[in-house]
Amino acid sequence: MQLFRPTIWQLGVKSLTLHPMRSMLTVLGIFIGIASVIWLLAIGEGISRRVQLQIEELGTNNIIVRSVLPVSEGEVNDSSMAIYGIKRDDYTALSVIPTIKDSLRIRDAMRELHYGSKDMKVHLIGCTSEYARVMKMEIQKGRFITEIDFENDDNVCVLSHELAEYLFPTKEALGQALRIRSTPYRVVGVMKKRGAMAAVGSSLEAQDFSDDVYIPLSTFWRRIGDWTMERSAGTRVNEVVEISQITFRVDKMSEVLATADAIENIMAQRHKKKDYVIVTPLELLEQAKTTRLMFMAFMGMIAAISLIVGGIGIMNIMLATVTERTREIGIRRALGANRRAIITQFLAETIVLSITGGLCGILIGLLCPFVVVWFRDLAQIWFPSVIADLPSAVREIEPVIVPLSIPLAFGIAVMVGIVFGIYPAIRAAKLDPIEALRHE
């Protein structure tokens, strides 16, 4: 085929360099479209991976049952106390499900912490020794809660990295005593810094980890109890909750959904009101993957619009070029060039334009991760309050180049050149040689 002859491409490049500004503006449309394809897919992939990572941190083999205040505000007695959530005997009933291999109970609440002249509200978490492993947390100093602490109801605590730095900026945290509800707790460990976990839908709240204090669950039940009564500016909390959350683990992912159904059946029989929620990370992960595909398809459609606009620009320029070069076409036809040769020449020029725009778009597209991260860091300096209100998946976005987007973008660039170049090329080939030679 004539299209694969080097001379055709050399002639195409030479023709385009005669009008560099016009060719550059034409290339710009394809360049923007191709860069948009790579950028939008990279940003979408970055957000999707961040969301999937947060879900995977919950454990794809885990099933989470969490106490929630029902719409009817739980069981309200004469003293306006809300009694709701998971009970201790619920845990006993659920533990007999044969596919459950392990479980983790926690009870958490906001409490006042006192150390010297420092007073602050902290997130107090009563847990067992498995908590750090399940939440993928690491010890920086000392140790975590042990089974002996749980069995003996010991007054010991483990602090988050940020809290330890605030309370003990110049001294060793281990061995220090702090007070919660006038009860002293000895610090036995400090955790490594842990990134925040975003909220998962409306089922699980976001967890910051920066103000956490961990104590044995048995100590929480004995010292703090189930009853929480707090008064702050304009709000009042008066409730009884025995267990805030239970995380069950199964051995096989194939057993997760069936086990979740079994948990739901038992809880539905034991609770008249929906004062609990069951979260299955595996199911959420599958939903996130489906959403990712839909999101990327949507982003691709938006980028396709830019490519169509760029293609129309190429067609418009090539039609104008045909008009300008009518006499040249007539001369070539008079010298023996057939219609196929004319079509090949103009088609080669449009493909050169598209490939040039595509290659430039790919080069700029590969810079997406660096540019977006730079703008993100800059925005955090200039607009900290606005960035802080954004979801963590967006706030900490790191675009990921989708490998398939590179050949896809290049292929699209070539296709745009062919599709939008065929009509001008055919129109040029159909010009009557005699009329073309008369054209001024």
Residues 91 and 223 in one domain: yes
Rounded to an integer, the average pLDDT of 290-318 is: 73
Which range has highest mean pLDDT (100-104, 205-209, 230-234)?
100-104
Residue 64 lies in a domain: no
Task: Name 204's bridge partners.
Answer: 200
Residues 290 and 406 in one domain: yes
Give the C-alpha separation, 45 to 130, whole Å.
Answer: 33
pLDDT value of position 128: 93
pLDDT value of position 220: 95
Residues 20 and 79 in one domain: no
Domain count, the chain: 2
Rounded to an integer, the average pLDDT of 134-146 is: 91
Confidence of residue 57 (pLDDT cuts 50, 70, 90): low
More confident residue, 367 or 160: 160
Rounded to an integer, the average pLDDT of 333-358 is: 75
The token pair at 293 is: 């595909």
Q: Would you say residue 440 has pLDDT above 70?
A: no
> How many angstroms from the chain centroid is the CA of residue 425?
46
Rounded to an integer, the average pLDDT of 207-232 is: 87
Domain containing 314 equals 2-55+286-438
Residue 60 lies in a domain: no
Residue 279 lies in a domain: no
What Å distances lie between residue 154 and 86, 112, 130, 142, CA to CA? 24, 19, 17, 16
More confident residue, 273 or 388: 273
Residue 280 lies in a domain: no
Confidence of residue 77 (pLDDT cuts 50, 70, 90): very low
pLDDT value of position 244: 94
Give the C-alpha separation, 43 to 12, whole Å.
Answer: 36
Confidence of residue 394 (pLDDT cuts 50, 70, 90): low
What percentage of residues in the chain have a pLDDT greater than 90?
Answer: 27
Residue 252 lies in a domain: yes
Residues 39 and 143 in one domain: no
Residues 127 and 239 in one domain: yes
Rounded to an integer, the average pLDDT of 249-260 is: 85
pLDDT value of position 129: 92
What percentage of residues in the chain have a pLDDT greater than 70?
Answer: 78
Query: Is residue 134 within 8 Å of residue 59, measured between CB atoms?
Result: yes
Query: CA angle at residue 117 from 111 to 118, to 5 degrees?
Result: 40
The token pair at 43 is: 């940003």
pLDDT value of position 269: 92
pLDDT, the chain, mean: 80
Give the C-alpha separation, 282 to 82, whole Å.
Answer: 32
pLDDT value of position 434: 62
Residues 146 and 188 in one domain: yes
pLDDT in tens, 359-382: 888 888 888 888 888 887 887 788
Rounded to an integer, the average pLDDT of 58-74 is: 77
Residues 434 and 296 in one domain: yes
Q: Would you say residue 46 has pLDDT above 70?
A: yes
Residues 88 and 43 in one domain: no
Residues 349 and 243 in one domain: no
Residues 254 and 132 in one domain: yes
Residues whose CB is less than 8 angstroms from the CB of residue 31 and which lie 6 or more positions away in sequence, other chains included: 310, 357, 358, 360, 361, 364
pTM of the predicted protein model: 0.65
Q: Would you say residue 80 has pLDDT above 60?
A: yes
Query: Is residue 52 within 8 Å of residue 409, measured between CB atoms?
Result: no
Determine the 3-state secondary structure of 6 from DSSP: helix
More confident residue, 154 or 412: 154
pLDDT value of position 316: 74
pLDDT value of position 410: 77
Residues whose CB is less than 8 angstroms from the CB of residue 406 and which lie 6 or more positions away in sequence, other chains included: 38, 362, 365
E-assigned strand segments in 241-337:
245-250, 276-279
More confident residue, 82 or 299: 82
Residues 27 and 118 in one domain: no
Rounded to an integer, the average pLDDT of 173-191 is: 93
Residue 263 lies in a domain: yes
What is residue 409's DSSP assignment? Answer: H
pLDDT value of position 151: 93
Confidence of residue 183 (pLDDT cuts 50, 70, 90): very high
Residues 180 and 203 in one domain: yes
Determine the 3-state secondary structure of 148 from DSSP: helix
C-beta contacts of 86-92 below 8 A and 24+ residues apart = 86/241, 86/242, 86/243, 86/244, 86/245, 86/246, 86/276, 87/242, 87/243, 87/270, 88/242, 88/243, 90/243, 90/266, 90/267, 90/270, 90/271, 91/243, 91/246
Residue 259 lies in a domain: yes
Q: Which residue bears the tokens 């992960």?
A: 285
DSSP 256-269: HHHHHHHHHHHHHH
Pair type for strands 212-216 and 183-191 = unpaired
Query: CA angle at residue 354 from 349 to 359, to 5 degrees?
Result: 125
pLDDT value of position 160: 95
